[in-house]
Amino acid sequence: MLSKIYSGATYGIDAFIVEVETNVEKLVPGFLVVGLPDNVVKESRERVTAAIKNCNLKFPIQKITVNLAPADIKKEGSAYDLPMAIGILAASEQINPGYLESTVMIGELSLDGKLRGIKGALPITFQAKQKGFKNIILPADSAKEASIVEGINVYGFESLYDVVELLNETSTFDTIYTAKEEVFSADSHYHDDFVDVKGQEQVKRALEVAAAGGHNILMIGPPGSGKSLLAKRIPSILPPLTFDEALETTKIHSVAGILEKGRALIVERPFRNPHHTVSDAALVGGGSFPRPGEVSYAHHGVLFLDELPEFKRNVLEVMRQPLEDGKVTVSRSKMTLEFPAKFMLAAAMNPCPCGYYSDPTKNCTCSSVQIQKYMARISGPLLDRIDIHIEVPAVKYKELSSDIKGESSAAIRKRVQKARLTQQDRFSRLNHIYCNAHMGTKEVRNYCALDTAGSELIKMAMTRLGLSARAYDRILKVSRTIADLDGSESILSHHVSEAIQYRSLDRELWMKN
């Protein structure tokens, strides 16, 4: 007898529906899975067989053939265990077929019939709803994230036996639903707050400008000056995630399998801090069956690269595309996938190998050749894509021992949100631009006009510092953000002057030459 069960699989951060066709016939006993299954899917035969038997259900000693359609797309993962088991039970007439036409099923089975959480529950649920399915059945550990999708009944179960009870209508089970208003009712909570940071007022100002315009920032300073401390607090001054941003971010984490157990939605800005030994595939995504990387995990949040020159050159260079386009394209012989990667890059580095070049209290032991080699590890094109370079000096004892607390993240965030609202109004007709950092050349010309004094100032800076055309655009974008924080419709000379000060690495390179 033939049965058809509907399941789902992810493709990038989206999903598609998979038909699990099961045929049971009275031939030499066997269990064959076709439809481009990977090794994990092939191993489902043992898990499904043991799970059915250990749930006191009858496993047919007959020829079983399972086809996963469409057959031209490779199937991977263990999420097909549950639909395969239900397909076998339906084909052997142990299940009432009433629910099957309107239901999508996903889930991994343990040998005793328990259901384990799976990746990609959120995008699969979205796809099931769009295709008109009324129900989705999945493990209880993955049901919370699926329950954020409205318009479809979400059932979360602990075991295969419970699923059979529902389908045969021998027991009743409640659907799971999470209201988005409930998730967003509480303010985003960040453990790290700028109120705990002593001194570094100039750096805090630069971080505020970076957050207000979505600009990338590079902090240069000696060891122990607080670069990592400051970077960890950047998400706390960024505007709260919108519901659409939260959904897209959660999709990425769901597909990657890094979403916290029992969590419906990510409502805080992500902060990712990969070690400098990270590979290029781990950073931007890849693999034989492409998965997102750190730049996508940081989507709508902050990617922090500490000790920037210690990263491998090829690893840093692959970031140039996502920094420019806000997405990663991974191409393979049989597929091309895109992963979103709109993040704010925060990087930190020492000014030299020993870390004490230009430090007023400690002597630098590096030669000029060593410093040049150290700085050369970061390419010019990558530096040009970082809008703000700021020096982070060592904090003096007087500031460290002071009882005066710094300004709170909440106070800074209010100013950042006000500036972002100004930018949203400005770019309301442009769907692909949400903040100043995303402006292209055309938008820079339209929205970053300078007066005579500002033009002369930037002309002098370009001539003396030998800045590239991209660096020129970066200065204009940062100037626009500073003006927005100032509540000014026009970019004035002092806005340009402050923006030029945030190209400290260009100034140092010019002075060395």
Q: Is 28 exposed, middle or buried (CB count within 10 Å of its CB: 0-12, 13-18, 19+)?
A: exposed
Mean pLDDT, residues 454-469: 82
Mean pLDDT, residues 298-306: 96
Mean pLDDT, residues 268-277: 94
Task: Quote the DSSP letter at residue 161.
Answer: H
**What pLDDT score was predicted for residue 206?**
96
Mean pLDDT, residues 76-102: 93
**Would you say residue 399 has pLDDT above 80?**
no
Mean pLDDT, residues 484-500: 93
Highest mean pLDDT (candidates 138-152, 369-383, 493-507): 138-152
Query: How much is the mean pLDDT over the chain?
Result: 90
Task: Quote the DSSP letter at residue 440.
Answer: -
Q: What is the DSSP string of 6-64?
A: EEEEEETTEEEEEEEEEEEESSS-EEEEESSB-HHHHTHHHHHHHHHHHTT-PPP-SEE
Binned at pLDDT 50, 70 and 90, residue 512 comes out as very low
Could you give the 3-state DSSP secondary structure of residue 267? coil
Binned at pLDDT 50, 70 and 90, residue 186 comes out as low
**What pLDDT score was predicted for residue 188?**
59
Q: How far apart are CA 344 and CA 485, in angstroms?
A: 18
**Would you say residue 491 has pLDDT above 90?**
yes
Binned at pLDDT 50, 70 and 90, residue 434 comes out as confident
| Token pair of 222 as six digits | 């000696």
**What pLDDT score was predicted for residue 263?**
85
Residue 11 sits at φ, ψ, to 5 deg, of -140, 100
Binned at pLDDT 50, 70 and 90, residue 513 comes out as very low
The number of residues in the chain equals: 513
Binned at pLDDT 50, 70 and 90, residue 73 comes out as confident
Q: What is the pLDDT of residues 194-229, one digit of tens each?
A: 998 888 899 999 999 999 999 999 999 999 888 999
When comparing pLDDT for 262 and 32, which is higher? 32
Enumerate domains of the chain plus CATH numbers.
2-178 (3.30.230.10), 194-432 (3.40.50.300), 439-513 (1.10.8)
Of 96-105, 285-294, 343-352, 458-467, the poorest mean pLDDT is in: 458-467
Q: What is the pLDDT of residues 6-50, one digit of tens each?
A: 999 998 889 999 999 999 999 899 999 999 899 999 999 999 999
**Would you say residue 511 has pLDDT above 60?**
no
Mean pLDDT, residues 218-244: 92
Widest pairwise Cα distance in the chain:
89
**What pLDDT score was predicted for residue 506?**
64
Mean pLDDT, residues 279-286: 91
What percent of the chain clears pLDDT 70, i.e. is strictly above it?
97
Q: What is the pLDDT of residues 117-141, one digit of tens each?
A: 999 999 999 999 999 999 999 999 9
Could you give the 3-state DSSP secondary structure of residue 405? coil
Of 116-125, 300-309, 424-433, the poorest mean pLDDT is in: 424-433
**What pLDDT score was predicted for residue 145?**
92
Binned at pLDDT 50, 70 and 90, residue 510 comes out as very low
When comparing pLDDT for 301 and 264, which is higher? 301
Binned at pLDDT 50, 70 and 90, residue 462 comes out as confident
Is omega for the bond preceding 70 within 30 degrees of 0, making it cis? yes
Could you give the 3-state DSSP secondary structure of residue 260? coil
Q: What is the DSSP string of 130-153?
A: HTT-SEEEEEHHHHHHHTTSSSSE
**What pLDDT score was predicted for residue 360?**
81
Q: How far apart are CA 465 and CA 504, in angstroms?
A: 10
Q: What is the pLDDT of residues 439-459, one digit of tens each?
A: 988 999 999 999 899 999 988
Binned at pLDDT 50, 70 and 90, residue 185 comes out as low
When comparing pLDDT for 114 and 291, which is higher? 114
Mean pLDDT, residues 112-117: 96
Report the sign of the C-alpha dihedral through residues 120, 126, 127, 131, in that order: positive
pTM here is: 0.89
Q: What is the pLDDT of residues 318-356, one digit of tens each?
A: 998 898 888 998 887 677 888 999 999 999 999 999 988
**Would you say residue 260 has pLDDT above 90?**
no
Q: How far is CA 362 from the centre of its chain?
A: 40
Of 180-184, 289-293, 357-361, 442-446, the poorest mean pLDDT is in: 180-184
**What pLDDT score was predicted for residue 432?**
79
Binned at pLDDT 50, 70 and 90, residue 472 comes out as confident
Mean pLDDT, residues 279-306: 91
